Structure 1
Amino acid sequence: MTKLPLNLLEKQIMGTAAKLAFKKLNPQTAASNPVMFVVLIGTFITAFFTLQHLFAGRSFGFELTTTLLLLFTVWFANFAESVAEARGRGQAASLRSAKRALKAHRLIKDCDEEVDADQLRKGDRIRVSQGEHIPADGEIVKGVATINESAVTGESAAVLREAGGDRCGVIGGTKLLTGEIEFVVTADPGHSFLDRMIGLVEGAKRQKTPNETALTVLLAALTMVFILVVITLPPMAGFMGAGLDYTMLIALLVCLIPTTIGGLLPAIGIAGMNRALAANVVAKSGKAVEVAGDIDTLLLDKTGTITFGDRQATRFLPVGNTIVEDLVSAAVLTSYEDPTPEGKSVLALADSGGYKVPERPSNADYIPFSAETRLSGISLADRTIYVKGASDTIQVWAEAHHIRVPNSLSALVKDVARNGGTPLVVASSNQILGVIALTDVIKPGVAERFARLRALGVRTVMVTGDNPITAGVIAAEAGVDDFIAEAKPEDKLALIRKEQAGGRLVAMVGDGTNDAPALAQADVGLAMNSGTQAAREAGNMVDLDSDPAKLLAMVEVGKQLLITRGALTTFSLANDVAKYFAIIPAVFAGALPAIAALDFMGLHSPVSAVLSALIFNALIIPALIPLALRGVKLRPMKAEQLLRNNMLVYGLGGVILPFVAIKGIDLLLSVVV
């Protein structure tokens, strides 16, 4: 799909949002937001009074102005939500381009029949060859291939998928670049990953989160309180000799109810899900994003999350009287035909260290690594053998070849493990030469991110199958709060249940079928897109990039959502308090001298006071739309400090701003009118 320039794309989004905002003026749609529904009903009533005054030949300027201001208030509130939805629809359009009229080669009793992709059903077995598009979601049961998933993830780099592991999942609409695979369909039409993803980002299936529902109830209750307050004003005004018509009452009501947060609340929720999607994470519900912000404990696998997962050779450590050059030469010879990342890193370390290494032998026999021997190596033409492998494996091999094992080898191996490395022992036909230290390199910036989460009150626990010594070294370097070594899949589930029993919310990441129970048990389960169908179904978030470290970003997205909602709620309620003390004294000051002392703002007239408040009300919502969509900046701090800052910035600011703005608007109106 052609990528539009940013400014043109934004114009299209704004145009779509404007149209959606008008559609949301339908009373049936507006009823889902109690605060704005009251404003819409008030708009209809003041419009009726405007027409009534017009046909009666009476002055209708105040009524018409009030009607237009109320209409703008409702429209701006709808526009805030519509912008968020329009951005989601733009993302959905790009996803929908991945869904095309695809054909599938369905296997039935070894026969290959070509059918339309929408005829496929769960359990069908499909063959896909190089250059073809994958017609449906599934799990590979035969073959290995590289796949272009850019239509879904936006990442142009090809990914490897193969049968028999945790990276067997494929998505409909992606393209097979090399190889040939057979996979079993795991989703019926309309229930595929892309279908669910499109529905979520369009907002069509978005449900209010528990906190959002609770806040909506609170706002509805506050609105009812202000309705009761306004109903009591006419008899009070009559008693004091002040006149209040119905248009003035409706204007007062709209000024006093929490319209700011009422108008921005849906947009904040949708924008939170959009921010998650911008990070290439699909949240199956808005609740998952919100809960991520409340997480107390993060359960993190070491490999792929804290470390890169590919162990790299970092040191050559000779043993006994061996010189380091002999060790390096032997290590290089054993690694020329070693396709593993570890083998390649040995060659890279020798090259970067400036060692003189032997050329690749042309007439040697290579010893490939196997599960039975657990070592690899080379046999030269002169019958000299070089091997490398785990310490216990090489010691057994050495004893079988009557080679003495130096006493210092054990201490060297333990020293490497104690420093968080994995020792590979290198030996020749004659002697043990030394150790290659492999280190699972910690990802840059991980320690700083853990410190940031700790400042936000989140406890991090590393889970690894490594021995306690290695796990402890990596945990200390990464800066996690705790770790579990030699962990099995059931240990994750037990830890999650233990944390939850203590009243804490837990998040974890996984990609395998054995991770599914823990993903389902966790309050936030981030499944890898490349993983098994069981894992993707169990989690309530799916990472399209299959990057386990993405869970850290999701916690920050969730916290930003909660902080944004809290900040704007504080600001809106503070606005209401300020408007109450700014308008009510101005309305009654002329009729009741005792109240005149409270009219410290000295507004021009009751009508000017109400119109100034309505104009402020209408303008503050669009002014805050960028903040609602972008989110309040997340800073690492404790809850108490966050609350204090929130009250100072948004609470105090929400009280002061209306006084200043209403006074300024009143001065302008007094000049214009």
Structure 2
Amino acid sequence: MTTTLDQPNAKLARRASRQLSLFAPDLVKPAIGRAFVMLRPDILWKNPVMFVVEVGTALSILYTAYKVIDPNSTLASLGYLIALDVWLFLTVLFANFAEALAEARGKAQADSLRKTRQDSTAWRLRLVDTTNIPPGTLATWTKEPRQFIDEVPSSRLKTGDLVIVEAGQVIPADGEIVEGIASVDESAITGESAPVVREGGGDRSGVTGGTRVLSDAILVRITAAAGQSFLDRMIALVEGASRQRTPNEIALSLVLSAFTLIFLIVVVALWPMAANAEDYMKGYVGVETLKSLGTDIPTLVALLVCLIPTTIGALLAAIGIAGMDRALRANLIAKSGKAVEVAGDIDTLLLDKTGTITLGNRRATRFVPLDNLAATEVGLLAALSSAADETPEGKSIVELHRRSPDAAPALPPPGSKFVGFTAQTRMSGVDLPDGRVIRKGAADAVVKYVKAQNGTIPATTDDQVNAFASQGMTPLLIAEGNAIVGLVVLEDVLKPGIKDRFDRLRKMGIRTVMVTGDNPLTAKSIAAQAGVDDYIAEATPEAKLAYIRKEQYGGRLVAMMGDGTNDAPALAQADLGVAMNSGTQAAKEAGNMVDLDSDPTKLIEVVEIGKQLLMTRGALTTFSVANDLAKYFAIVPALFAGTLPWLKSIDVMNLTSPTSAILSAVIFNAIIIPLLIPISLKGVTYRPVGADALLRRNLLVWGLGGVIVPFVGIKVIDLMLTAVGLA
């Protein structure tokens, strides 16, 4: 089994599968066939509500057949019974069709992904021990002749195998880069044409089978064998094979089953009551009056079907499948439907500052002298110390100096010795051939360095550093020799519109928490600018884990996004852990959802998808319950008014006859299911509102609409039945 993609066609196939209309012929035909297959009792019993409808339909059909044999066996007309059987059967069929159509959409996506897959050749290293890889392995094994490399089909790769992938080759399976750095085209998976950089030894070491290396070469350790890749998982998920019912879905099914059982007991009890009513009541009311009670089985089955919540029972599975489908179309792989559902119930959201709240890289914005030098001179020293610094911050310092008026070229002379940044020194710089030593780094590290050189610290140093840090900036001190001469200010730039997005989340009742490694002063300032509710400064894996546990002990559900191995404990602890596809294998295993786009801001969209799922389920449940209330007013007075005359006072619909009332309600009950399929699959329109506003909207739109629609619909059907002589 292969796990790679035919790259040129993959993006088009994914886009085509996403643009399928709800009722495209390619979807409807298999869905109809599947709907008939799902009539099997061993399949339908998993939906208790519709299983009861199916059993009742079978009893009604048997009773009608008996009516054909013995025309005098009942007071109901044969035409009425046949019409009743047809619409009861269609009720079950429409319910099955709703779920089958949702599954068909997933299968269409799966088929399009399968068509794009092809087997590729992998260069597998012949090593006895693949766990300890010495540095330089990639350079060694890529040299000719390659007598220690086996060319094998990607389908034969196993977890732990080491493969070399060079420019132009397809990555044969999911893995983690052990060595090397490369530009990778991930459009086959994410749909985005812009290449991304993946490198070993960091938090962006994960690669996905089916993507293509555009430059350089990488050494990859395979982490997923054939049939277990992200592509294979995606296919299984969109087909519905891996979908399990979520806790809320199970709970709602139990409630619907309880309602069904209650009404089943009530309706079954009517049969013996009606059978013996003539003996007990013929002295009080006429025998002809009792005939309106509806003592035949089809009428009692129809009564039961109209009383129980068939609408939401029919659409419940389709709503859940559609929620998974929306997540997958957003390039999110959820390990279970529970992850999508939990996203809609999240109370607290943990977001990394870098790349999520800010643009990702701090930029140098100003040079500030602390000695007798001018700002341009401080800028020159800072630029010289950053000439060999390949970090975005270092490049921004050089760029800021270059744009300064009358700036001298920052070109270190030949013989200069560059000092790289380390976690221990927290400084970098350059030793010039003329003996000058320039250092740039964190304020406390540079102060400590200068004191060790018996230098002097300007009196205003601490005040300047604290002033900039309190505004959310990062000041780096510049030292020449044993004297601090100035500082360079780095600033985080907030992403456009990020504050508005946090306001939307706050309206939904979700607290946002910024996670950053910055000092508390910087973190506090950025948190205030971004509009988050809380922040974790100088964040460590232990600090993130402790914060999540504290929130959970308070009864709140927590979501977090991460990509590194150090994020794995917090991702595992969070109720919703979203891992970056570009991240480490540890992070992807710890989370319960993987973002194929590796977009840190996707966490906000995840919450919106979950909210839409819950809103759709809540809206259609409200509509279904309101439908049932309206049907009570349609059926009960018309059916039992002959026996209980006082019911005439609530017969507001004034239907033609008891048989017309029953048949009209059953027909409406059947046709409302396919009419609601587009809403269950597309979802109700998402709005970032709180629980109270959402409840009011549900009651006003779906509750009131659920009452009005059946009154109008049943009355119209009654008039049509009267016109054709079935009333």
Q: Same fold (TM over 0.5)?
A: yes
Pair 1:15–1:317, CA change in 2 (3 A) = farther
Q: Secondary structure at the match of 2:216?
A: strand
Which of 522, 540, 544 lines up with 2:596 in the alignment? 544
Contact 1:137 1:186 in 2 (8 A): yes
Deviations 1:585-634 (A, max 9, x none): 11223454332222121101112212221221122222222222222333
What residue identity is the alignment partner of 2:178? Answer: V
Q: Which amino acid aligns with 1:192?
A: S
In the alignment, is residue 106 of structure 1 matched against residue 124 of structure 2? yes
Q: Distance between the aligned counterparts of 1:363 and 1:487, measured in 2?
A: 40
Structure 2 residue aligned with 1:487:
539
- 1:31-50 maps to which residues of 2 (within 5 A)? 31-50=45-64
Q: Structure 1 residues 408, 224: closer, same or farther in 2, change over 3 A?
A: same
Equivalent residue for 2:616, pick from 537, 542, 564: 564
The corresponding residue for 1:242 is 291
1:370 and 2:432 correspond: no
**1:282 maps to which residue?**
333
Contact 1:271 1:628 in 2 (8 A): yes
Range with greater deviation from structure 2 (2-11 or 633-642): 2-11
1:157 matched to 2:175? The reply is no
Most deviating of 119-128 and 67-76: 67-76
Q: How does 1:405-554 map to 2 (within 5 A)?
A: 405-426=457-478, 434-554=486-606
**Aligned-residue offset at 1:540:** 0.6
The number of residue pairs the alignment matches comes to: 672
Against the structure 1 CA distance between its residues 142 and 382, is the aligned structure 2 distance closer, same or farther, given a 3 Å change threshold? closer
Query: Alpha-carbon deviation of 1:282?
Result: 0.9
Paired amino acid for 1:253: L
Question: 2:309 corresponds to which residue?
Answer: 258
Residue 88 (1) aligns with residue 136 (2): no
Query: Residue 70 of structure 1: which of 77, 88, 109 is its match?
Result: 88
Deviations 1:33-71 (A, max 9, x none): 111222223333444455555677896322332233223
Question: Counterparts of 1:129 and 1:15 in 2: how far apart (Å)?
Answer: 45
CA distance in 2, matches of 1:54, 1:477: 79
> Secondary structure of the residue that 1:160 maps to in structure 2?
strand
Measured in 2, the distance between the counterparts of 1:8 and 1:191 equals 27
CA contact (8 A) 1:333 1:378 kept: yes
Q: How has the CA–CA distance of structure 1 residues 605 and 531 changed in structure 2, closer, same or farther, with 3 Å as cutoff?
A: same
Q: Report the counterpart of residue 602 of structure 1 in structure 2.
A: 654
Q: Which amino acid aligns with 1:445?
A: G
Shift of 1:155: 2.0
Structure-1 residue corresponding to 2:78: 60
Change over 3 Å in CA distance of 1:382–1:491 after alignment to 2: closer
Q: What is the alpha-carbon distance in structure 2 between the residues aligned to residue 366 and residue 213 of structure 1?
A: 69
The verdict on how the C-alpha distance between 1:609 and 1:405 changes in structure 2, with shifts beyond 3 A counting, is same
Q: Distance in 2 between matches of 1:584 and 1:545?
A: 55
The offset of 1:650, in angstroms, is 2.2
Q: State the identity %.
A: 56
CA 1:60/1:356 → structure 2, altered by over 3 Å: closer, same or farther?
farther
- Written as runs of structure 1 = structure 2, the 5 A alignment for 1:53-452 is 60-97=78-115, 99-109=117-127, 111-237=148-274, 239=277, 241-242=290-291, 244=294, 245-332=296-383, 335=386, 337-349=388-400, 355-359=405-409, 361=411, 364=414, 368=418, 370-371=420-421, 375=427, 388-395=440-447, 405-426=457-478, 434-452=486-504
Q: Distance in 1 between matches of 2:170 and 2:461?
A: 53
Distance across 2 between alignment mates of 1:85 and 1:369: 60
Aligned partner of 1:88: which letter? G
2:607 partner amino acid: V
User: Structure 2: how far apart are the matches of 1:299 and 1:47?
Assistant: 58
Shift of 1:269: 0.8
Distance 1:381 1:107 in 2: 46
The equivalent of 1:29 in structure 2 is 43
1-side partners of 2:656 and 2:400: how far apart? Answer: 80
List per-residue Cα deviations over 1:269-301 (Å, max 9, x = no partner). Answer: 111111222222111001111122222222222
Worse overlay, 535-544 or 588-597:
588-597
Please tell me the residue identity of whatever aligns with 1:371.
F
Q: Distance in 2 between matches of 1:8 and 1:572?
A: 28
Give deviations 1:373-416, integer Å, cap 9, x for gaps. Answer: 75555678988776643334555666788876533333222222
Per the TM alignment, residue 203 of structure 1 is displaced from its structure 2 partner at its CA by 0.7
| Residue 663 of structure 1 pairs with residue 715 of structure 2 | yes
SS, match of residue 444 in structure 1: coil
Output the CA distance in 1 between the equivalents of 2:421 and 2:410.
25
The AA in structure 1 aligned to 2:80 is F
Conserved? CA contact 1:144–1:162, under 8 Å? yes
Deviation for aligned residue 1:568: 1.4
Bigger Cα displacement from structure 2, 533-542 vs 178-187? 178-187
1:86–1:583 Cα change, 3 Å: same
Deviation larger for 90-99 or 285-294: 90-99
> 1:438 offset after TM fit, Å?
0.9
- In structure 2, the CA distance between the partners of 1:215 and 1:513, relative to structure 1 (3 Å rule), is same
Relative to 1, partners in 2 of residues 1:55 and 1:365: Cα closer, same or farther, differing over 3 Å?
farther
Mapped to 1, the partners of 2:58 and 2:169 lie a distance apart of 57
Q: Secondary structure at the match of 2:603?
A: helix
Distance 1:424 1:189, change over 3 A: same
Q: Which amino acid aligns with 1:64?
A: I
Q: Is the 8 A contact 1:50 1:64 kept in 2?
A: yes
Q: Provide the secondary structure at the position in 2 that maps to 1:597.
A: helix
CA contact under 8 A between 2:98 and 2:318: conserved in structure 1?
yes
Q: Is the 8 A contact 2:17 2:109 kept in 1?
A: no
Task: Tell me how far apart the structure 2 counterparts of residues 486 and 519 of structure 1 sit (CA, whole Å).
Answer: 18
Whether contact under 8 Å (1:264, 1:621) holds in the other structure is yes
Query: Once the two structures are superposed, what CA deviation does each residue of 1:239-263 show, in whole Å capped at 9, x if it has no partner?
Result: 3511522222222222121111001
Equivalent position SS for 2:105: helix
After superposition, the Cα gap between the structure-2 partners of 1:398 and 1:607, relative to the gap in structure 1 and judged at 3 Å, is same
Residue of structure 1 equivalent to 2:281 = none
For structure 2, the residue ranges without an aligned partner over 5 or more in a row are 1-8, 128-140, 142-147, 278-288
Amino acid aligned to 1:271: A
Task: Name the SS for the 2:95 alignment partner.
Answer: helix
Deviation at 1:567, TM superposition (A): 1.9
Q: Secondary structure at the match of 1:182?
A: strand
Q: Which amino acid aligns with 1:197?
A: M
- Residue by residue over 1:325-367, the C-alpha shift from the partner in whole angstroms, topping out at 9 and shown as x without a partner, is 444455555555543212333355467x673444564955665
Look up the equivalent residue of 1:346 and give its one-letter code.
I
Quote the Cα distance in structure 2 between the aligned partners of 1:185 and 1:317: 50
* Structure 1 gaps, min length 5: none
* Counterpart residue identity of residue 40, structure 1: E
